A and B are shown apart, each in its own frame.
Chain A
Amino acid sequence: MNETFTQTDLKSEIIQAFRQFKFPTSQVSRNEAISHFEKLAFPGNKNEEYRFTPITRSLEKNFSSADFATTRPSFLTQTDDYRIPGYECNFIVFVNGAYNKELSVIISPDDQLVIKPLLTAIVEDSGIINRYFTKLVDSSTDAFAALNTAFWQSGIFIHIPKNIHLEKPVFILHLHDATLKTVVSQTRVLAVVGDNSEVTVVEKFNTSGSHPVFNSVVEEIVVQENAALHYHKIQNDAGHFFQVTHTRIHQSSGSRVNTFTVMLDGQLVRNNLSITIDGERCESHFYGLYLLHKNTLGDNHTVVDHTKPNSFSNELYKGIMDGQSRGVFNGKIYVRPQAQKTNAFQSNRNILLSDTSTINTKPQLEIWADDVKCSHGCTTGQLDEEALFYLQSRGISKHRARALLLYAFAGEILGAIQDQAVKNYFDTLVSERLQKNI
């Protein structure tokens, strides 16, 4: 049986399951999405965007169409194990891809923070929903985005009205219960940050149980004029965790966006972070840190699209690969013809700790404006031997010296986090992983 045959099987089975399903809303966008999926199919190994990331093979091996068509029930009742200790926040919980109101706890007043199921928002906030929902992410170019738009069942709508500096952060915990069976989930989020508002968002992923999980996330985030978004994602789910995320951000004039993507564990994790800087005087920073070990494949694909003049973006992704892990980085920057005086910078730095780990990195800059300042750089290397020796010459063991240097390398990313609690939490995880204190 050749590969194409099995792939078509899973694909057509999924499409069949779709046609048999009774969705409560959004049939038009779903139908459109499924036909995109049919045309695209799961990415094969000739697909440039997934060239180094064999997600399709993993899906065929571990999941069936039945997994795609069902929302697995869960009997998880406690979330304490998965919270950030002592973090005072608005706590939103998803279980197996579905928003779980009972486990969630909102502490900000509802004139400052609106959290409601997407199904409810589609009815109650049709204006804002019609403007943005399924409009940011493009289902015609990516099979997973298409599948998510076709199959999502219980997503959420987050709205920070204008002129609100939201004091308490929004912490979204994505839990998967894979104790009894494999789980496939399609998580869907639409978030709108109103004019002049500011919010901190933290996302975390955890699985209970050892069956394989495939989590597909699509987040459409609108950052309106002069608003600010501080977005943090921590992917530290060990075990059989496969994930593809699409985080699609749209920025209006004067807004600021800072994203931190920290990837520590998982079987195969692919992030698609795409920002359209559709305004002037925007300032955006995109940070990524991936510390990969064992057999983890961690893939960060980013797109920064400057469509208007006078904005600034800076991207810094750093990776440390150990064991047989594989890192992938692809950073696209587009500067459109009218986006004069754009400043766009990108840097990807990697350290390979073992002979069996790999990194594939590719910057892609397409600049159509002629009065811009853009640069990119990527490096791959080992630890600085000279620095190692210097530390050893002062009595520091080689093991500890390595840890110190690796921590210093990662520290540049952590140092940029402004939320102290999040910074400390990430710092603890990174220090542990790098054995800084052993």
Chain B
Amino acid sequence: MLTIKNLQAKVEDKQILNGITLAVNAGEVHAIMGPNGSGKSTLASVLAGREDFEVTGGEIDFLGKDLLRLEPEDRAREGIFMAFQYPVEIPGVSTVNFMKTAINQVRQYRGLPLLDAVSFLNLMKEKMKLMEIDQSLLNRSLNQGFSGGEKKRNEIFQMAMMEPKLAILDETDSGLDIDALRVVANGVNTLRSKNNAMIVVTHYQRLLDYVVPDFVHVLYKGKIVKSGGKELAYELEAKGYDWIKTDVAVV
């Protein structure tokens, strides 16, 4: 589904990604771990299409399309969803309004009939129940006054609404307590299928207890330095990131 070849990127003259190569197939969950500054969030941002990041080399193929040529809205329309680490608050735009506009723009792009008010409302209710979101929150301005946990749950709620082919979860577990984590992880797992894929960017192993990855990759200084199965996450938990740094230095 997603093929990244030797991706290099910088932000404000600082080179962050130094050649990332990664292949993600349908049905797979890949965890990207690494110490602070390793380039995890940069990778997520480049995939989502943030303008601040300049791609200086490499290519990204998504379902046969050159991802780097697509605008952020087209990447979303092609089926990529990013759950942000710090979801922004947008006063004056309600979650309901926002979701309806988004879903219908995506459907229009894909040549699907637009959802009428009733169908849309039913879809919303179903996904709200999944993410244990109170209906009152959705008529309020997007993310405004939401707690950290509520914002993250709202991200996964949106993911459930958009039904993406590839979801990128950028440190979705950061700032969550156990209960919020449970709800978020449950939502993510419910959405998992053999037809879609996920890239879970995380600093800690905790989320991976709930959202069990098929592959774990360790990012260090903008490169994937180690890949393995889910056991790798436990190893990191036990040994810390210094082990990787030493490991890499030796090579």
- Which residues of A come within 8 Å of B, CB atoms? 384, 386-387, 389-398, 400-401, 404-405, 407-409, 411-412
Is B76 close to A, CB under 8 A? yes
Are A387 and B105 in contact, CB atoms less than 8 angstroms apart? no
Instruction: List, in ascending order, chain A residues with CB within 8 A of B71's CB.
Output: 392, 398
Are A408 and B90 in contact, CB atoms less than 8 angstroms apart? yes
Instruction: List, in ascending order, chain B residues with CB within 8 A of A391's CB.
Output: 90, 93, 98, 102
Are A390 and B88 in contact, CB atoms less than 8 angstroms apart? yes
Q: How far is it, in angstroms, between the C-alpha of A58 and the C-alpha of B157 when the chains are bound? A: 56
Instruction: List, in ascending order, chain A residues with CB within 8 A of B98's CB.
Output: 391, 394, 396, 404
Given A389-B50, A391-B98, A396 and B91 contact (CB-CB distance below 8 Å) = no
Contacts A405-B93, A409-B92 known; list 13 others, CB within 8 Å: A389-B50, A389-B51, A391-B98, A392-B73, A393-B84, A394-B73, A395-B73, A396-B101, A396-B105, A397-B73, A397-B105, A404-B98, A405-B92
Instruction: List, in ascending order, chain A residues with CB within 8 A of B48's CB.
Output: 393
Q: Please give the distance in Å from B57's CB to the nearest CB on chain A.
A: 23
Given A389-B50, A393-B48, A394-B102, A408 and B92 contact (CB-CB distance below 8 Å) = yes
Q: Number of A-B pairs whose CB atoms are under 8 Å?
A: 75
Q: Please give the distance in Å from B184's CB to the nearest CB on chain A.
A: 18
Instruction: List, in ascending order, chain A residues with CB within 8 A of B162's CB.
Output: 394-395
Of all chain B residues, which has the CB nearest A407?
Answer: B92
Are A412 and B92 in contact, CB atoms less than 8 angstroms apart? yes
Of all chain B residues, which has the CB nearest A437?
Answer: B101
Q: How far is it, in angstroms, between the C-alpha of A411 and the C-alpha of B103 when the chains are bound? A: 23
Instruction: List, in ascending order, chain A residues with CB within 8 A of B17's CB.
Output: none
Are B93 and A398 in contact, CB atoms less than 8 angstroms apart? no
Is B42 close to A, CB under 8 A? no
Interface size for B (C-beta < 8 A) is 31
Q: How far is it, in angstroms, between the C-alpha of A409 and the C-alpha of B92 when the chains are bound? A: 7
Q: How far is it, in angstroms, between the C-alpha of A366 and the C-alpha of B71 when the chains are bound? A: 50
Are A396 and B88 in contact, CB atoms less than 8 angstroms apart? no
Q: How far is it, in angstroms, between the C-alpha of A412 and the C-alpha of B102 when the chains are bound? A: 22
Q: How far is it, in angstroms, between the C-alpha of A2 and the C-alpha of B91 when the chains are bound? A: 52
Q: Please give the distance in Å from B72's CB to the nearest CB on chain A.
A: 4
Q: How far is it, in angstroms, between the C-alpha of A397 and the C-alpha of B103 when the chains are bound? A: 12
Q: Please give the distance in Å from B202's CB to the nearest CB on chain A.
A: 19
Q: How far is it, in angstroms, between the C-alpha of A266 and the C-alpha of B50 when the chains are bound? A: 39
Of all chain B residues, which has the CB nearest A387?
Answer: B90
Of all chain B residues, which has the CB nearest A409?
Answer: B92
Instruction: List, in ascending order, chain B residues with CB within 8 A of A408's CB.
Output: 90-93, 141
Are A396 and B87 in contact, CB atoms less than 8 angstroms apart? no
- Nearest 10 pairs between A and B by C-beta? A408-B92, A395-B76, A394-B102, A392-B72, A395-B106, A392-B73, A386-B88, A408-B93, A395-B77, A387-B90
Of all chain B residues, which has the CB nearest A404?
Answer: B93
Are A390 and B87 in contact, CB atoms less than 8 angstroms apart? yes
Are A393 and B93 in contact, CB atoms less than 8 angstroms apart? no
Q: How far is it, in angstroms, between the C-alpha of A393 and the C-alpha of B50 when the chains are bound? A: 9
Of all chain A residues, which has the CB nearest B45?
Answer: A389
Given A389-B50, A404-B93, A408-B93, A395 and B84 contact (CB-CB distance below 8 Å) = no
Instruction: List, in ascending order, chain A residues with CB within 8 A of B85's CB.
Output: none
Are B101 and A393 in contact, CB atoms less than 8 angstroms apart? no
